[in-house]
Chain A
């Protein structure tokens, strides 16, 4: 075993990205595979898993106590970081990325690494589309918004079509689980669930594959260690899109 204490990281810049999402840049750099995550310790509050949006940043939506506390921090404040952990997205040559909401965060470095030809980006509204300009500069971009304020009015999976799918090697997907479950259902319908790679979010405590809080049914795979990226064929029959577990281990709908 090796020393895995949190690494102190001083926040150098906070970049507002959307009304509910901000990027926190820090003075520590992490060698990582796009899709890997870190455990972010907000001292005195809690520690939560966050995808890296670059080697020295996380991009965060305000959703709970720990993220709210993070949003109260600014340049000069310190946080602790453990990781990176997990497997990361696969590399490929002709890939498609499907991002919903803050799920765009781990996909940005994946798209920046090359090999993603097309990005499908969705959010509730135009303002909440995360990294829209960055994606547009890196790949072909299509957009969907729930309220129709930009792009296709509706749900981002509706931008997927069998032609794009047939011509790509892999679909990288991150976003709300119901959105990802819809993408998986489409891939199943087109006979290629294994082409999809889904970034799962589950309640986590340890981050290193030992406590069991993030295990998923039916195989007992650990999201923090065996994932967080799973190919669709591992997710077809199980809890994905249906339920997860809370901090106490009780099942709760996603």
Chain B
């Protein structure tokens, strides 16, 4: 397998310690757990999504492991502005704040809380199971452009995380780029459902949820590949990555960095494990492979 040269990575205005980033919504609720993941070898971390008001999330079950991945409908639980206290001990670290709102103004207001406190923001326009937020905005190109513009105007590096639950993800990617996004993150979870045969009802408290993990990896690779052709800003790949070879595949599709989420359930130390396999002093520069599958 190819190995890469270790060293800092620039992704849409954010300087990461390596190509591997903790995805939003995974162990991102407390400052201590984010620090634990950084210390375990992640190149950066994305926080739990933070919104304009505190939310308790959906009733449970909120997450069920299934044989091909994870199905979840958390419902964007978050402490809102109180979260600033959680990350106060992480100043200067490669932390990206995931943010959401119900309108461009709300998204921008939440973004401004984080000015001077994080390396960048990731605008969540893609959560598939919270009414009025996330993909409720992120499936509409003009709203994507407006929200992105409102957030990017705060001056922080602005990653925009896209939903795959659209007919043409490139149209959404171009809207984010027009709005001034520094990078695109693709993808969030794929809208999904399971039913308990024994109990004759949907398993998730919210009935519908989002699928992540192994099952969505080919969907994520396809989206990154399409976006690489459609857009000229950097792409951060996300979806089903669990090993070094997946990271290389995402990069060949066009990703400059890769987020990892569901696989953390199997192994909380996977960042260092993947890093050991991915990097070596005689590795090649990553630019040699980013997007190489398009040639």
Q: Which residues of A contact B (CB under 8 A)?
A: 1-8, 39, 41, 43-48, 78, 80, 82, 205-213, 215-220, 222, 225, 245-251
A248 and B56 form a contact (CB under 8 A): yes
Residues in B whose Cβ lies below 8 Å from that of A220: 27, 30, 32-37
Known A2-B65, A39-B60, A41-B60; further 13 A-B contacts with Cβ < 8 A:
A5-B203, A47-B59, A78-B199, A205-B62, A210-B265, A212-B29, A213-B29, A220-B34, A245-B30, A248-B55, A248-B56, A249-B79, A249-B86
6 closest pairs, A vs B, by CB?
Answer: A47-B60, A8-B198, A4-B65, A220-B33, A220-B36, A220-B32
A6 and B203 form a contact (CB under 8 A): yes
A103 to B213, CA, bound (A): 36
B265 and A251 form a contact (CB under 8 A): no
A215 and B198 form a contact (CB under 8 A): no
Residues in B whose Cβ lies below 8 Å from that of A222: 27, 33
Which residues of B, 84-127, contact A by the 8 Å Cβ criterion? 85-86
How near does chain B come to A120, taking the closest CB pair, in angstroms? Answer: 32
Interface string of B49-85 (1 = CB under 8 A from A): 0000011110111111111111010100111101101
B64 and A5 form a contact (CB under 8 A): yes
Q: Which of B32, B57, B72, B266 has the most CB of A within 10 A?
A: B32
B25 interface hit (Cβ, 8 Å): yes
How near does chain A come to B86, taking the closest CB pair, in angstroms? Answer: 8
A46 and B203 form a contact (CB under 8 A): no
A220 to B35, CA, bound (A): 8
Q: Which residues of B contact A (CB under 8 A)?
A: 25-30, 32-37, 48, 54-57, 59-70, 72, 74, 77-80, 82-83, 85-86, 194, 196, 198-199, 201, 203, 205, 213-214, 261-262, 264-266, 268
Residues in B whose Cβ lies below 8 Å from that of A2: 65, 67
Q: A3-B67, A248-B56 are known contacts. Are A210 and B26 too (CB-CB below 8 A)?
A: yes
A209 and B265 form a contact (CB under 8 A): yes
A219 to B27, CA, bound (A): 12
Residues in A whose Cβ lies below 8 Å from that of B74: 205, 211
A205 to B82, CA, bound (A): 20
B63 and A210 form a contact (CB under 8 A): yes
How near does chain B come to A53, taking the closest CB pair, in angstroms? Answer: 21
Q: A6-B203, A41-B60, A218-B32 are known contacts. Are A212 and B26 too (CB-CB below 8 A)?
A: yes
Residues in B whose Cβ lies below 8 Å from that of A46: 59-60, 205
A99 to B65, CA, bound (A): 33
A39 to B205, CA, bound (A): 13
Residues in A whose Cβ lies below 8 Å from that of B33: 212, 215, 220, 222
A19 to B82, CA, bound (A): 38
Residues in B whose Cβ lies below 8 Å from that of A48: 60
Residues in A whose Cβ lies below 8 Å from that of B34: 220
How near does chain A come to B243, taking the closest CB pair, in angstroms? Answer: 14
B78 and A3 form a contact (CB under 8 A): no
B205 and A249 form a contact (CB under 8 A): no
Q: Which residue of B lies closest to A214 (CB)?
A: B29
A-B contact pairs, 11 of them (CB 8 A): A1-B262, A2-B67, A6-B199, A47-B59, A205-B62, A213-B77, A215-B33, A220-B34, A248-B57, A249-B79, A249-B82
A250 to B53, CA, bound (A): 12
Query: Which residue of A43, A212, A248 is within 8 Å of B30 (Cβ)?
Result: A212
B26 and A80 form a contact (CB under 8 A): no
A222 to B110, CA, bound (A): 28
How near does chain B come to A244, taking the closest CB pair, in angstroms? Answer: 11
A220 to B27, CA, bound (A): 9
How near does chain B come to A35, taking the closest CB pair, in angstroms? Answer: 21
Q: A5-B66, A250-B54 are known contacts. Are A205 and B262 too (CB-CB below 8 A)?
A: no
